[in-house]
Structure 1
């Protein structure tokens, strides 16, 4: 019988890969992201890329929540309310992230239109939508702290060393790769959070499968 926790982990992994693919189509620019002009990198993104990237990312993003149910199940043996709090924090952050990713094609279209109202429109976008990105970063930090605490206690389905592979540390590693090796980092920086969860769900699903095989 196929284990539901393993399947949920695979769904979360698939969501991370698909959302990452969509976000890569929306964001990746070979010239980089160092321009002082807001969202300047969108000028080189074709309409076809915007359409494909938008729908792939937005339609796949809700399946992240299945992955966080998987996370909850992997933490559940520790007992108490913290496993649920960790999963709910992660899920809440990614709901905000879905709203944010759903707005990227729109801001790209605004930037490419280059109308006299662009300055005000971009400022409004930064207030209403870009601020949501900070929510997912904060929730990732908080849920990672809870994850580390639970795993170090040794009462989860994860090996104790897995604490170091918490999402915040993986995300930090992505930023460091971009800083020290920009030639490589520029390919993963635009999809940093999805790279983070691709690695995290891959490891988590492996241990869920390993646990099931031992039963």
Structure 2
């Protein structure tokens, strides 16, 4: 009689394969699209920096020509223009250079600066990029100070036309009037106020910029601490004072433009060599 089959007598249950250990998740790498996007962004930044440098150089050159047209004539003597006896210092020297100039010459000298002035604001992005990756609280103030100075510059530059024309009108009128004689001086007072504010902004912003660059950790090497409006304007002043002959006379009122031409030439040369932003 067949006996019942017990569980122990049955065939062994098929073995189930042991579960393989879960592989450790690998961190996701950069998505190809992200890489391309970053490359495109860096390329656009480099192109923008190079265009800003070109804008700064061309604008400085235009202002240099404008300064030569406004103030590059040999200074007239007081015996030619008795009006000059009422002034001294920088005011007298500026008037002495503008009085012999024609109206057309003065107009073009002023317009070259006024019409190209907005390009200086675009060139100022060099100051912002120069301090990357410094914290915003440190990098933004000097950028704003320097940019504000460049925003005031076209008004100051263009005002020389009205100042010179007023002096020419007073001289040619031959009128012995205290009100007319003081008119150029009144215009000069208004003209020098934005110049004083401009220079104050440049001094503060330049010192701030130079200190941060000297500390290191910026987009500029430490030696580029000289690349600021204050230092470059001082160099421009030396160039215009020491250059002899007819060229020295032509450049006698162009210290700021010579300094800016040097400044943006330096920053453009440094940023142009970069392969990444």
TM-score by length of 1: 0.88
Paired residues in the alignment total: 214
Correspondence for 1:201 = 264
| Alpha-carbon shift at residue 207 of structure 1 (Å) | 0.9
| Alpha-carbon shift at residue 161 of structure 1 (Å) | 0.7
Structure 1 position 174 matched with structure 2 position 218:
no
SS of equivalent to 1:157: coil
User: Structure 2 vs 1, CA of residues 156 and 182 (structure 1 numbering), >3 Å: closer, same or farther?
Assistant: same
SS of equivalent to 1:102: helix
- 2:182 corresponds to which of 96, 113, 120: 120
| Alpha-carbon shift at residue 143 of structure 1 (Å) | 1.2
SS of equivalent to 2:132: helix
- Distance between the aligned counterparts of 1:110 and 1:104, measured in 2? 10
| Alpha-carbon shift at residue 181 of structure 1 (Å) | 4.9
Correspondence for 2:64 = 20
Correspondence for 1:159 = 221
| Alpha-carbon shift at residue 41 of structure 1 (Å) | 1.7
Residue pair 1:40, 1:111 contacting (<8 A) in 2 also: no
| Runs of 5+ unmatched residues, structure 1 | none
- Distance between the aligned counterparts of 2:266 and 2:158, measured in 1? 28
Q: Bigger CA drift: 162-171 or 83-92?
A: 162-171
User: Structure 2 vs 1, CA of residues 119 and 81 (structure 1 numbering), >3 Å: closer, same or farther?
Assistant: farther
Residue pair 1:58, 1:98 contacting (<8 A) in 2 also: yes
TM-score by length of 2: 0.70
Structure 1 position 65 matched with structure 2 position 113:
no
Correspondence for 2:52 = 8
| Runs of 5+ unmatched residues, structure 2 | 1-42, 79-83
- Distance between the aligned counterparts of 2:50 and 2:274, measured in 1? 10
- Distance between the aligned counterparts of 1:139 and 1:181, measured in 2? 28
SS of equivalent to 1:5: helix
- Distance between the aligned counterparts of 2:242 and 2:67, measured in 1? 23
Structure showing greater Rg: 2
- Distance between the aligned counterparts of 1:81 and 1:73, measured in 2? 14
Comparing both structures, which one devotes a greater share of its residues to helix? Answer: 1
Residue pair 1:33, 1:41 contacting (<8 A) in 2 also: no
| Alpha-carbon shift at residue 146 of structure 1 (Å) | 1.0
1:58-104 Cα shifts (integer Å, max 9, x gaps): 10012111111222112222223232211211121122221111211
What CA RMSD, in Å, does the superposition of the two structures yield over aligned residues? Answer: 2.4
